Structure 1
């Protein structure tokens, strides 16, 4: 029984290591990511962020795509944006953390935790279309 538990634990660790291996190249899969927040019982669109290589632009809700900036992602999937990020970094707002999720290679996403000017935190999820 103890051997079965140990083997199960080792299998779980190897599976978790495999999920993080997707972060090894330090990049999100290219594409357009739609960012939404759940507020007052409905999903609100916060705009699209476009990822191409190590560059991002957006978020954009309408109009032209702004200048592209670099981003970095560490081996744990934490993203550092090396430029502005629209409403997430304006009007007294700041970024707390951005965490990528690549568990399903067909549905990559990342969560942005924003600290608002009043000190409250808001989380949005950006999913590749």
Structure 2
């Protein structure tokens, strides 16, 4: 009986470990497309522009037209994104990116959250969702 329980527990542990892996992050890329970025402040959603993802490149954010240049980005196996170039207002005027975390699984569209540190030390979070 004890051996049977060990075998069952081992199988469940193995299945849980395999199922818990984030296969969506394995290739290190977000799905291609346009991601609309917003921040929620004072009870309202504010548009921060669109970021376009194509392969390992991103451009934007832009509100109108298109970005003049694309830059590389990297995403690790946990979905943390490193932007290897400027990111509009997120990285200008004394602002800096603290962290960007992708969410590819679940019922909603792929998205990522950008945590920006402002010059005064405050943090602001925005969400960019694929349209």
Q: 2:111 aligns with which of 109, 112, 115?
A: 109
2:38 paired with 1:29: no
Larger Rg: 2
Taking the aligned partners of 1:39 and 1:12, their CA distance within structure 2 comes to 39
Q: Deviations over 1:87-112 (max 9, x none)?
A: 00000000000011011386110000
Question: How far off is 1:66 after superposition?
Answer: 2.4
Q: Give the one of 13, 16, 21 matched to 2:20.
A: 16
Contact map agreement 2:36 2:51 (CA 8 A) in 1: yes
Q: 1:73 aligns with which of 72, 75, 79?
A: 75
Q: How far does the alpha carbon of each residue in 1:104-125 deviate from its partner, in whole angstroms, 9 at most, with x for none? A: 3861100000000110000000
Aligned equivalent of 1:92: 94
Runs of 5+ consecutive residues of structure 2 not aligned to the other structure: none
Q: Deviations over 1:21-69 (max 9, x none)?
A: 1101000000000001110001111000000000000000113322000
Indicate the SS of the match to 2:106.
Answer: coil
Q: State the TM-score, normalized to the length of structure 2.
A: 0.85
Q: 1:73 to 1:105 in 2, by over 3 A?
A: farther
**Structure 1 CA distance for aligned equivalents of residues 130 and 119 of structure 2:** 28
Aligned residues: 123
After TM superposition, list the pairs within 5 Å mapping 1:57-68 onto structure 2: 57-68=59-70
Does the residue aligned with 2:20 lie in a helix, a strand or coil?
helix
TM-score (norm 1): 0.87
